[in-house]
């Protein structure tokens, strides 16, 4: 493991004004998104849709530091025969790869899940590196509800995250460590804060046991928000302050950066909350974004599966990337949303 090189990649992933495009939806997940825009879920359509984002030159150069790809996508070529990873690299961004294989029920823990995919991961990672991937992603899913999460769920998922991270670093790939406390449910902010603190503490303990170099990782956590079914809502200021408080309590300063997931927030909510955290300032790590839906919902709607709409979709993607780039600098303003390019 060359820690200097890992640290350089990790810092590039959270460079000022830039964040990560999560374009790693499984075939099933992107199928649901395509259903919403009445587009057939074919390999060509998946490629064409992702290619239009990767070729949005201004957004990729100015505001996107890296792209998380699904296994299908990292091997695909554009219509003109250019490998998609080469298009990403030419734009100045880093290709990355989702390496987990989804979730399965956690035995003896009703309502809880464990992420799978560690088997043969050591064999898969060198192939991804050779294909151009310089970072990877593994998502742990923590639900909040009556009697859950259990310690078994928290520990099992934190342990898997640490094993994954150690394998990535051994393969000279920066691991994105993603323990996500879901917004699903009717829990309040206090419950989200408690569970997020718990999973982050356990994760960093397991990373220590696994001898993972924190200088060579990027953390991808949820923000502290109430569940979608909660009767109480939160202001932007509350979300920002509570999230920063949890991070200060849990995340060592050696971590180069934190790239938040949007987790079901609207486009503007995810942008406003990130901006408010950066306006607090004085933090030891860079705070940026690793958004999927919050970057893609607008371009997907504009595209609608039609080639004549590619330019409109690219404008929508460019706008969302720019807004989040400003939020990563603490320079976003709500009235900028009205000036979509």
- The one catalytic residue in 18, 98, 137, 220 is 220
- The one catalytic residue in 178, 180, 202, 206 is 178
8 Å CB contact between 257 and 218: yes
Q: Cα 288 to chain center, whole Å?
A: 10
Is 104 an active-site residue?
A: no
CA 56/CA 54 separation, integer angstroms: 6
Peptide linkage before 149 cis (omega within 30 of 0): yes
Q: Who's near 230: CB < 8 A, 6+ residues apart?
A: 186, 187, 188, 189
Helix runs in the chain, H state only: 3-13, 27-36, 43-54, 57-63, 71-74, 84-90, 121-131, 151-170, 189-209, 236-250, 267-280, 293-303, 310-327
Is 220 an active-site residue?
A: yes
Task: Tell me whether residue 62 is exposed, middle or buried, using C-beta atoms within 10 angstroms of its C-beta: 0 to 12, 13 to 18, 19 or more.
Answer: middle
Residues acting as catalytic residues: 178, 220
């Amino acid at each position: 493991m060359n820690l200097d090189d890992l640290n350089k990649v990790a810092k590039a992933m959270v460079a000022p004004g830039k964040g990560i495009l999560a374009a790693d939806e499984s075939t099933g997940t992107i199928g649901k998104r395509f259903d919403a825009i009445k587009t057939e879920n074919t390999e060509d359509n998946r490629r064409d849709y992702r290619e239009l984002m990767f070729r949005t030159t201004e957004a990729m150069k100015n505001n996107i530091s890296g792209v998380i790809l699904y296994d299908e996508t990292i091997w695909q070529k554009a219509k003109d025969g250019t490998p998609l990873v080469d298009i990403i690299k030419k734009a100045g961004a880093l290709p990355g790869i989702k390496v987990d294989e989804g979730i399965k029920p956690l035995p003896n823990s009703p309502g809880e899940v464990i992420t799978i995919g560690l088997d043969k991961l050591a064999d898969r990672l060198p192939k991804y590196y050779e294909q151009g991937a310089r970072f990877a992603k593994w998502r742990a899913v923590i639900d909040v509800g009556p009697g859950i999460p259990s310690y078994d769920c928290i520990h099992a998922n934190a342990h898997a995250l640490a094993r994954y991270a150690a394998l990535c670093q051994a393969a000279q790939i920066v691991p994105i460590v993603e323990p996500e406390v879901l917004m699903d449910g009717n829990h309040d902010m206090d419950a989200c804060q408690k569970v997020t603190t718990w999973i982050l503490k356990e994760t960093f303990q397991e990373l220590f046991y696994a001898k993972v170099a924190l200088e060579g990782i990027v953390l991808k956590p949820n923000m502290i928000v109430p569940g979608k079914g909660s009767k109480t809502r939160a202001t932007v200021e509350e979300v920002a302050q509570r999230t920063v408080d949890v991070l200060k309590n849990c995340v060592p300063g050696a971590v180069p950066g934190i790239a938040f997931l949007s987790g079901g927030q609207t486009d503007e909510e995810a942008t406003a909350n990130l901006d408010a955290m950066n306006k607090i300032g004085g933090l030891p790590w860079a705070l940026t974004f690793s958004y999927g839906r919050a970057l893609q919902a607008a371009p997907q709607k504009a595209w609608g599966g039609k080639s004549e709409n590619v330019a409109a979709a690219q404008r929508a993607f460019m706008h969302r990337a720019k807004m989040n780039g400003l939020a990563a600098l603490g320079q976003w303003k709500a009235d900028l949303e009205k000036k979509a390019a």
